[in-house]
Amino acid sequence: MDQSTHDRLTTALRCATDWLVDIAQVGPGRPFGDPKGYPHADYTGAMRTEYDTKTRRWTVNGPAFHTGQAVRALLVAAGRTGDTRYREAAIRGGAFLLRERIDEAGHPQRGLLLSLEQNDDEINVQVTWEALSGLLDLHEATGDGVYLGAVRTSADLLLDGAYLPEERLMRDHYSLRQRAFVGDADNELPGRAMLDDAVLLRLSERTGEARYREAFLAMADRLLEEEGPPGTWLRFPPWRPEQRKIHNRKSWWWGHPLLAAFDATGDERYLAGATRAGDWYLRTQTVDGALYYAPDPDERHRAFEMCTSVVAVAILFWADLWRRTDEPRFRAGIRRALPYLLAAQFGADAGDPDVVGAFFESPNPPDGTVAPGFQVRDLATVFGVRALNAVLELGDFDEPRGERENAGMPW
């Protein structure tokens, strides 16, 4: 990689991380009126998750899991740049997560992370793992045992209460009102496999506890059994193609951790499963690098559902697949995706200070005006930061150009 390309990618990473710290994260003494009314007492350190450039309004969805994932990106950026602000912001995010746990004395799930999503009653078990991943990263970055202790407490509660060993699945939700783990109305199975970010496997490596590894590998095996079409898992929510509920990041959440299973065991079945998921993203990628939020099972997509966070996780996935397989098709996918990712970042002349440095998630559908706007989600920038870092780690990419002479987009 020549110096100009390295500098361009590093600048993009810095601008994106600055946006996470200065705009998306709720800073100390900075009020945030949550329009959804989640029962979080203090949002300091949490991420504001959704912004519409048309209405210029912020909202929030699933702040615990979004914040946990942001912590991961902030620590990556801190390691890349040495900027202590990014590490401090990650610690603020971790403090939010540590505050937002069930703390009622005598509660059967005391210590469980309050990773609410969609409503104020149900803890989403799958995204709980995605939030815990950030705390595990903080432990690895700081050595502070409080983070590891919090992860272990939640993991133990989930394994004891939500895990179904005979099914090799975990129940989908925990109802605060019922004080019980419950299934999902959209799930014909009693639960789903939850390998997200390989948290259980990483926790086993950190603690020496075999049961975390055993549950992870058991769910990985069940995941392979439920796969279909290749590289996807339509049986698990929120994949419901008959209702247009296809979530294209799920092949990342389920497929990418199979690489960790392969690394831990050497079992080629896991590498093959991860490769099929990576190939799903290749097949659904456009010639100029875009990917879509909700493609159909036959791999067609809808025009206005471009999704930058999917592009970013695909880059991360392909980079890790290439390291293990040396298959040139994964590098080719990254080469197509990188110009799209860079073009999706708002520049200094965006005309709205709330988006400068961010990556848009999706364009708004046409509304009869000349400026329908964009949906800006923190996750696009969170994964964008990590994707840029992954490309910098690969180190030998030339200046990204894309398939066309003018691959840039004027926004």
The domain that holds 298 is classified in CATH as: 1.50.10.10
Domain assignment of residue 70, yes or no = yes
Q: What is the amino acid identity at position 147?
A: Y
pLDDT digits 0-9 by tens, 212-256: 999 999 999 999 999 998 999 988 988 776 766 678 899 999 999
* Dist CA 33 CA 70 (whole Å): 20
Band of residue 304 on the pLDDT scale cut at 50, 70, 90: confident
In sequence order, the 6+-apart residues with CB closer than 8 A to the CB of 371 are 54
Whether 223 is covered by a domain: the verdict is: yes
Residue 230: CB partners within 8 Å, gap ≥ 6? 276, 279, 280
Give the pLDDT confidence of 261-293 residue by residue, as tens digits.
999 999 999 999 999 999 999 999 999 999 999
Q: From edge to edge, which strands make up the β-sheet containing 50-52?
A: 57-59, 50-52, 374-377, 362-363
Under 8 Å between Cβ of 47 and 41: no
Neighbour-count burial for 264-273, b at 16+ CB within 10 Å, e otherwise = beebeebbeb
Q: How far apart are CA 92 and CA 99, in angstroms?
A: 11
Report percent pLDDT > 90 for the chain.
82
pLDDT in tens, 324-383: 999 999 999 999 999 999 999 999 999 999 999 999 999 999 999 999 999 999 999 999
3-state secondary structure 347-372: CCCCCCCCCCCCECCEECCCCCCCCC
Residue 25 burial class via C-beta count within 10 angstroms: exposed 0-12, middle 13-18, buried 19 and up: buried
pLDDT above 50 for 93: yes
Instruction: Determine, yes or no, domain membership for 82.
Output: yes
Task: Calculate helix-pair angle for 378-394, 63-81, nearest 10 degrees.
Answer: 30
| Residue 45 is assigned to a structural domain of this protein | yes
How many CB atoms lie under 10 A from the CB of residue 298? 7
Cα gap 318→313, rounded to integer Å: 8
Overall pTM surpassing 0.75 (yes/no): yes
Q: How far is Cα 387 from Cα 104, in angstroms, rounded to an integer? A: 39
Query: Does 403 score more than 50 pLDDT?
Result: no
Domain of 312 in residue numbering reads as 3-97+202-394
340 part of a folded domain: yes
**Angle between helix 268-284 and 257-265 (nearest 10):** 160
Examine the pLDDT at 321 and tell me if it is beyond 50.
yes
Q: What is the DSSP string of 133-184?
A: HHHHHHHHHH--HHHHHHHHHHHHHHHHHTEETTTTEE-SEEETTTTEEE--
- What's the rounded mean pLDDT across residues 1-30? 94
403: how many CB neighbours lie within 10 A of its CB?
12
The tens digit of pLDDT for each residue in 144-186 reads 999 999 999 999 999 999 999 999 999 999 999 999 999 998 8
Q: Is residue 325 part of a domain?
A: yes
Q: Residue for token digits 């392979």?
A: 224
Instruction: Tell me the average pLDDT across 296-314.
Output: 90
How far apart (Å, rounded) are the C-alpha atoms in residues 146 and 138? 10
Give domain status of residue 240, yes or no.
Answer: yes
176 vs 384: CA distance, rounded Å: 34
Q: Are 124 and 173 in contact (CB under 8 A)?
A: yes
| Calpha distance 99→18 (Å, rounded) | 24
Q: Could you report the per-residue pLDDT of 101-147, keeping only the tens digit for each?
A: 999 999 999 999 999 987 888 999 999 999 999 999 999 999 999 99
151 domain residue, yes or no: no
Total count of domains within the chain: 1
pLDDT of residue 376: 98
Smallest CA-to-CA distance from 377 within 16, 9, 88 is with 16
